[in-house]
Chains A and B, each alone.
Chain A
Amino acid sequence: MSEENRPLFSCSGVHVFIGEKEIVKGVDLAIPHGEIHAIMGPNGSGKSTLVAALMGHPAYTLEGRVFLEGEEITALSPDEKARKGLFLAFQYPVAVPGVTVASFLRAAVTARRGEEVSVREFRKQLLTRMEELEMDAAFASRYLNDGFSGGEKKRLEVLQLRMLEPRFALLDETDSGLDIDALKVVAKGINAAAANGTGILLVTHYQRLLNYVKPDVVHVFIDGRIAHSGGAELALTLEERGYDWLEQQAAMGGA
């Protein structure tokens, strides 16, 4: 397979179980270099479960296969996947009290690059990226996600996306809970990452973010499956018509 037509990220036959319960019921994705894909779907349809399982969350059992740049990464541990360039922006980022944003990011950047970064260079890059995301410099010395507002957490996820420069990023509702100004800043960060060559899978509940980050393909996710895929215009249809028509279709066709 040549470099050009090999997808940047792909998965096939992905089922995800929590215990005995099947949450994701067969997902295939192939996302070429330079594309942004969006997954939209109602609450509880299994979007977060899918992306967490792709990242390797230990509480989930994943069946199927996952590839990054043609290399199978299915069985790798989450930290190995991350070092190979997979990234997950969490819907609900976890607080780690006592660990500052700066020290955490330095450890993460070092792990991702596989070599020490000089303090000077790291500081410089961190400040530039924070400025880009309109974050106050004092942010760096706060404890990781500890007492952060919803908006601050989302900004920090995007800051990590920019600092770690992954090959492919799964962004889980990185738009939720943001006011319009914050949404624009977050979108700017995502677009900058995409322009820098990071492939993107956006998971979102609303089409709002898609006004600022233009997807090439929109997948509609219903009850653990991709029920429908289309172009950017599909997001607008969903905005107008909701998910009901697809849910009905899925219920009938899924038999």
Chain B
Amino acid sequence: MSAEAIPRVQLDHIAQLSQAAGEGEFLRRMREEARALLDPLVLPDRARHLWRYTNPAQLLPAHDPTEPLPLPLPGEWRQEDPAAAAVLVAGGAIRLVELSEEARRAGVVVEDLHRSQAAELVGSTVPARHGLFEAINAAAWRGGVLVRVPRGVELEEPIRLRLLAGPGGRVAVPRVLVLAEAGSSFEILEGHLGGESGAQVVGVSELLVEENARVRHALIQRWEEGVSGHLTTRARVASGARLQLALASFGGALYKADVGAELVGEGAEVATFGVAMGGDRQRFDHHTEHHHLAGKTNSNLDFKVALADTARSAYTGLIRIAADAPECEAYQENRNLLLSRGARAESIPELEIANQNVRCSHGATVAPIDPEQLFYLASRGLPRSQALRLIVYGFLDQTLARLPESTRQRLEALVAARLHAE
């Protein structure tokens, strides 16, 4: 007997959650509206590229994420790297905030999003109607961070956020809101890590990048084995502002990321540079969107994927240029390196260009390791495993080399660690 299970998401304790977190009326209503979007539950159309490669049912929370169970605290945690601010989100709440003297004096705010005055900006770039998982997050998020960098403030050290997945069978639903006021300049590292096998994550991050701001944001996913999750990141980039999005995906069993930026003001720029490295039976599904809504905006994307064993990756990259957005430039390149016969990668560029006065290009490759490269390195004494590591490292590092030095070093270390785990 195999009755088709009707997918459902249980969200029975929204009001208690909201109250316990000390939220105001705005957020409580947003949650209720989001829940209404989920009733009845309609799974996304799998004919669309966005969901062609991953079954959304596999990412649905298996348990009620709003259930007020006591959540285990993480063990000892210390921030050792230099940071303007350091935050840990675990077990559904902010556990720790450290603000450097420099950041404090400059008026940088890092606080609990549930109680923040800026809470009314929640949903600005990722509204509940964005999609199924965004609606789930909007209804059930727990453990939120607000980061606000005031007008004109430039930070030397990065802001570091760490968002932990939970124990097996639990669903973490974190939410991040970053406000980069006009002319501010800083780097923010959003690290998703931890978790036990069977843990799930449904995360959303929103970035508001105001006029002439410079933001370097990195979304780093290095969950433990067996964790699965969906992360959505959307930025709105105002005129003259520049956003760099770094993607680094290493962990988990099943990971779907939907990352993008809307360029809403003339001269706005976004560059998305990313790497993914998978092995075993890992499944990655990355979607990027660069949406040009104003003229003279630029976007650039360089995303590299290396896969071993029977890992799979799907990448869909959408460039969308609005009819009233002339003189834009948009470039997109996705390259995939396969280290084994069992590994598979798909790459689908999608262009929706409504203005003819633009420059746009895209390219995609999927290729196995070049045996001539392996022989060359072997002829210099490097055993196969070491030669492979070197080739993969070089493949990914060409993209990492385009990132600011501090992000680059961090990601290089993670790539090296991931390669040694192979």
Contact = CB atoms under 8 A, between A and B. Distances in A.
Interface stretch (B183-191, B315-323, B387-395): B387-395
B26 interface: no
Interface stretch (A24-32, A63-71, A93-101, A117-125): A93-101
Given A79-B384, A104-B390, A107-B390, A98 B398 contact: yes
Nearest to A93: B376
Interface in A82-141: 82-83, 87-88, 90, 93-94, 96-99, 103-104, 107-108, 111-112
Interface residues of A, number: 30
Contact of B371 (A58, A98, A144, A164): A58
Nearest to A77: B378
B381 A108 contact: yes
B319 to A, nearest CB: 25
B373 A78 contact: no
A98 B380 contact: no
A55 interface: yes
B2 interface: no
A107 to B, nearest CB: 6
B120 interface: no
Interface core residue of A90, A98, A99 (most chain B CB under 10 Å): A98
A228 interface: no
Contacts of A87: 379
Contacts of B324: none
Contacts of B386: 107, 111
Contacts, number: 82
B394 A111 contact: no
A78 B379 contact: yes
Contacts of A160: 380
B302 to A, nearest CB: 12
B391 A99 contact: yes
B380 A96 contact: no
A79 B374 CA distance: 10
Nearest to A88: B379
B396 interface: yes
B384 A94 contact: no
A143 interface: yes
A109 to B, nearest CB: 9
B49 to A, nearest CB: 29
A88 B375 CA distance: 11
A78 B378 contact: yes
Contacts of B398: 97-98, 143
Contacts of A180: none
B354 to A, nearest CB: 36
26 contacts: A57-B375, A59-B371, A77-B378, A79-B378, A79-B381, A79-B382, A79-B384, A82-B381, A87-B379, A94-B375, A96-B376, A97-B394, A98-B395, A98-B398, A99-B391, A103-B390, A104-B377, A107-B380, A107-B390, A111-B380, A111-B381, A111-B383, A112-B380, A144-B394, A160-B380, A164-B381
